[in-house]
């Protein structure tokens, strides 16, 4: 699945940029926080093979990233992200993105949306820059598989997601008319970008559903498009209109899932295709369906809300309407998670369904 959202950051307001950045750099949402200790690995007969230095990386077109003063594959540092979110160079502070007067939902110091006395969202105007976030998530069985995998296999799954997300964002930038310029005759020309600069962060937990004590594993990649380059090399904001129409998000989501599926198959896992809504998804063979259901409380919550609303309206919800529904039903992000405790809950659920830690390892990859 691919969902789109706009992120507006006020220029000159470091605290505002920090709030936007910290959400994406939160360690307790990253895979590093859920690595098994050496003691646990020995107890379960597993071994530590490799670990990622960071799952928050600068990705995308090298020339676009260079204009901000960062490199592709470089770990995202907090201060650098704060600068880039304001459209500024990380070292010199030069204003690279031109600020404008923009509207956005007003939020408090805890990043919670403000509402007026009538329950309507409060909208504010700020002088800032806008970014587009593409959030890409995988089918539940991939997340369940990751939660039970050893460190080596986890790394392979994580790498597959990050690589697929980067290719998908670049495809969306280079194949949709997201930039515009003036031709020699003064006529405005809309065209694809030459590439995008992206702040990508892999998160591994879902939002907690109502009534649930702990969030479920859910791998998803936050891809914040902080700028795109035109064919003339100029760094500009993405004109995201084309991303929000003509089923572009469905196209991008399908591309992302196909690349993840191919990477898993190449690594030796078997998949089952044509699953889910209209046969658009896939699942990993061998991961118990019942365990996936138990670890999908958030999906059930949205599905129940969707069914209720469809009964009231007498129409089938799809596309953007589903994204709005998911946003309206979600709980605030858990910032006080204990990753060690959460991992124990996941392990216990897996063992109850005959799929505990270390199981689900791939078969030998096919000969090339």
**What are the distances in angstroms from CA 110 to CA 18, 127, 186?**
12, 21, 46
pLDDT in tens, 251-293: 999 999 999 999 999 999 999 998 887 888 999 999 999 999 8
Q: What phi, psi does 221 have (nearest 5°)?
A: -115, 120
Three-state secondary structure call for residue 143: helix
Token pair for residue 350?
């897996």
Is residue 7 within 8 A of residue 21, CB to CB? The reply is: no
Is residue 241 within 8 A of residue 251, CB to CB? The reply is: no
pLDDT in tens, 165-176: 999 999 999 999
Token pair for residue 336?
């006080």
Q: Return averaged pLDDT per consecutive 10 residues of the chain, 368 residues in all.
A: 94 95 92 69 44 83 97 97 98 96 88 85 95 96 95 94 98 95 85 97 80 80 97 92 91 97 96 87 94 75 52 58 47 65 89 85 60
Token pair for residue 356?
């505990």
Q: Write down the number of H helices and E strands in the chain.
A: 11, 11
Is residue 23 within 8 A of residue 333, CB to CB? The reply is: yes
């Amino acid at each position: 699945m691919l969902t789109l959202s706009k992120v507006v950051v006020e220029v000159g307001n470091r605290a505002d940029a920090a709030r936007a950045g910290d959400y994406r750099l939160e360690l307790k949402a990253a895979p590093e926080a859920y690595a098994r200790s050496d003691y646990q690995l020995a107890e379960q007969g597993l071994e530590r093979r490799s670990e990622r230095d960071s799952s928050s990386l600068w990705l995308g077109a090298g020339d676009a990233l260079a204009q901000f003063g960062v490199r592709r594959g470089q770990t995202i540092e907090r201060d650098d992200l704060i600068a880039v979110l304001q459209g500024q160079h990380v070292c010199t502070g030069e204003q690279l993105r031109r600020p404008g007067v923009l509207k956005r939902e007003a939020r408090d110091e805890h990043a919670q949306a403000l509402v007026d006395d009538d329950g309507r969202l409060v909208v504010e105007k700020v002088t800032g820059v806008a970014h587009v976030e593409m959030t890409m998530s995988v089918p539940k069985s991939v997340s369940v598989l990751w939660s039970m995998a050893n460190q080596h296999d986890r790394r392979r799954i994580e790498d597959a997601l990050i690589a697929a997300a980067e290719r998908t964002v670049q495809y969306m930038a280079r194949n949709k008319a997201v930039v515009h310029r003036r031709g020699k005759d003064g006529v405005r020309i809309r065209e694809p970008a030459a590439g995008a600069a992206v702040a990508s962060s892999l998160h591994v937990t879902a939002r907690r559903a109502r009534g649930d004590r702990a969030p479920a594993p859910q791998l998803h990649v936050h891809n914040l498009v902080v700028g795109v380059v035109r064919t003339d090399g100029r760094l500009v904001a993405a004109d995201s209109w084309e991303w929000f129409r003509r089923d572009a998000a469905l196209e991008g989501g399908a591309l992302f899932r196909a690349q993840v599926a191919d990477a898993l198959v190449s690594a030796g896992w078997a998949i089952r295709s044509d699953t889910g809504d209209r046969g658009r998804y896939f699942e990993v063979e061998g991961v118990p369906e019942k365990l996936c259901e138990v670890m999908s409380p958030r999906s059930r919550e949205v599905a129940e809300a969707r069914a209720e609303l469809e009964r009231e309206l007498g129409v089938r919800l799809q596309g953007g309407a589903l994204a709005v529904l998911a946003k309206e039903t979600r709980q605030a992000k858990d910032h006080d998670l204990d990753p060690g405790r959460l991992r124990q809950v996941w392990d216990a659920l897996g063992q109850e369904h005959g799929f505990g830690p270390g199981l689900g390892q791939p078969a030998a990859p096919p000969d090339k």
